[in-house]
Amino acid sequence: MYVYLEAYQPAAETTQFLVATVSFYRGKVKAFETAPLKITDGLNPKSKAVPVRFSVPLAKLQPGRYTCQVSVLQPSAQKFAVWRSPVVLLP
Number of Cα atoms under 13 Å in the Cβ half of residue 17 = 6
Partners of 31 in the beta sheet?
A: none
2 φ, ψ to 5°? -100, 130
Q: What is the pLDDT of residues 37-83, one digit of tens each?
A: 999 999 999 999 999 999 999 898 999 999 999 999 999 889 999 99
How many domains is the chain built from?
1
- Predicted confidence at residue 46, as pLDDT, reads 93
Q: Are 2 and 53 in contact (CB under 8 A)?
A: yes
- CATH number, domain at 62? 2.60.40
Q: Are 16 and 76 in contact (CB under 8 A)?
A: yes
Range of the domain at 80: 2-89
* Whole-number Å distance between alpha carbons of 43 and 48: 6
pTM over 0.85: yes
